[in-house]
A and B are shown apart, each in its own frame.
Chain A
Amino acid sequence: MAVMSFLTVSLLFALGLFTVLSRRNVFKTVIGLTLMESAVLLLLISWAYIPGGSAPILPLQGKGVDPLPHAFTLTAIVIGACDIALAFAFIMKLNRFERSVNVDDFRRLKG
């Protein structure tokens, strides 16, 4: 089961990387970043799971799963959402200046 999770995490991260590297639309770049973030979240949560474990709510039935990665993941989700919102704000501002959402058109800072 762990192998299945790791395979999915690797593929998801690679898919995000591929999107960031190859697509020219800035919205697609944001999608790629989101996918990479999701892969990391999935890795942390599947890492925390113990076969037969129960949710970390007291009183525990049997042994509980690892609660520490859950806390990290929760933090990461909220911060990731804020990052994506900031990225959207940048896109809106860039679109206002350049009338484009194509990465190749943003050349003003290029030497």
Chain B
Amino acid sequence: MSEPLLAFLYFFILLTAVVAVLLDDLLSSFISLSVTGVLMATVFALFRAPDVALTQAIINSGLVTSLFLVAYSQTQRTPSPAGECRECPFWLRWPGAALVSSLFAAVLFRGLYVLSGDRIPGSTSAHYLSQTLEETGALNVVAAILLDYRAFDTLGETTVIFTAVFGISLLLSGGKYVHSGHGLSFIVKRGMALLTPFILLYAASILFLGHLTPGGGFQGGSVFATVAILICVVYGTNFEAARISPKSKETFEAGGAMLFVFIGLLGIAWGGGFLANLSGPFPAGTPGSLFSGGNMLLLNLAVGMKVGAGLSSIFYTMIKILELEDDSWPS
């Protein structure tokens, strides 16, 4: 890896972050933050972490920015506050915060600097790198860690996603559906109709080849959610709700969780333990083929269903509020 390139990217990461913090215009500052996200994804790819780079590019700089745009357009009629506290004494406005955070940066850097040195992977990581093919049958070590060695953590993570969806639906619930936009122009609609199968194919390839190549349930599910979001934007919310109803999203999400737990219980039934893979009922298959890695294909599908349905219903719940008339949302 070339160091000048890394220094260049780091410089622009810091620059866009500073711009995102200091600009008064919220729209510009969030676009700048999204650029930071893309640059971070590039840095992750340079550090040989393709899975993380893919996730960062899709979720952090794509989906989060779209959610911001929804939240921003709901609050755009509200006057934006002045940057700093009005009544506070001067030193509390920004010098105090600057002092605290620069001291923090100095302490953090000092601590990290002491720890720096030649890195050798710990024995756990060395075991994962050398034994993954034998013990799980998968080629992507990160996917093997997520879905075999530490699959229970992944179940917990999907629970966190469920909790977030639950909280958002609870906060933004109620309100009668009043009107929906008619979407964008004819050309955009036709273009979207032509593009949709290819985006779906891309999502499916990321999802189902997750145990062989970088990707997996989280990334593939997020691209599926992106399709739902694009349909929402291009054709209008009502069309999206009619085609992919919120009820079916719920069913998909619950189905993903059930599938995950069911696969886990199969392992117990076989005498292996919760989420047992090759020691359970699943064959290893030929390394490198689609049907290899035991239960990883099914677990990727379960996670993808959960993440895709969860993220698209978060977006739908938030954009629905935009199109309500002001008084019809109970507070």
Contacts from A to B (Cβ < 8 Å): 1-15, 17-19, 21-25, 27-28, 30-32, 34-35, 38, 41-43, 45-51, 53-60, 64-68, 70-71, 73-75, 77-86, 88-93, 95-97, 99-105
Contacts and interface: CB of A to CB of B under 8 A. Distances in A.
A77 B52 contact: yes
B17 A77 contact: no
Given A66-B121, A92-B321, A104-B86, A6 B67 contact: no
B112 A57 contact: no
B44 A45 contact: yes
B230 interface: no
A16 to B, nearest CB: 8
Nearest to A88: B71
Contacts of B74: 92, 95
Main secondary structure of the interface of B (DSSP, over half): helix
Nearest to B82: A24
B239 interface: no
B80 A25 contact: yes
Looking at A64, A90, A99, the one whose CB has the most chain B CB atoms below 10 A away is A64
Nearest to B109: A10
A96 B331 contact: yes
Contacts of B50: 55, 57
Contacts of A25: 26, 80-81, 83
Interface of B: 1, 3, 6-7, 10, 13-14, 17-18, 20-21, 26, 29-30, 33, 36-37, 40, 43-44, 47-52, 55-56, 59-60, 63-64, 67-68, 70-72, 74-75, 78-86, 93-94, 96-98, 100-102, 104-106, 108-109, 112-113, 116, 119-122, 124-125, 128-129, 132-133, 139-142, 145-146, 150, 153-154, 157, 160-161, 164-165, 167-168, 171-172, 213-214, 218, 287, 307, 310-311, 314, 317-318, 321, 329, 331
A38 B37 contact: yes
Contact of A64 (B36, B105, B141): B141
19 contacts: A15-B17, A17-B101, A19-B21, A22-B83, A23-B21, A25-B81, A31-B29, A57-B139, A58-B139, A64-B129, A64-B141, A65-B49, A75-B153, A82-B164, A82-B314, A88-B68, A92-B172, A92-B321, A102-B81
Contact of A84 (B36, B67, B96, B104): B67
Given A11-B14, A68-B128, A79 B101 contact: no
Given A57-B214, A75-B153, A100-B81, A34 B64 contact: yes
B141 A74 contact: no
Looking at B49, B109, B132, B142, the one whose CB has the most chain A CB atoms below 10 A away is B49
Contact of A42 (B40, B68, B106, B129): B40
Contacts of B7: 4
A19 B106 CA distance: 17
A67 B6 contact: no
Given A65-B47, A78-B218, A24 B52 contact: no
A105 B293 CA distance: 55
A67 B108 contact: no
A102 B331 CA distance: 19
Contacts of A14: 101-102, 104-105, 108
B98 A68 contact: no
Contacts of A83: 164
Nearest to A79: B160
Nearest to B40: A38
A55 B48 contact: yes
A18 B278 CA distance: 49
Contacts of B321: 92
Nearest to B74: A92
A5 B79 CA distance: 39
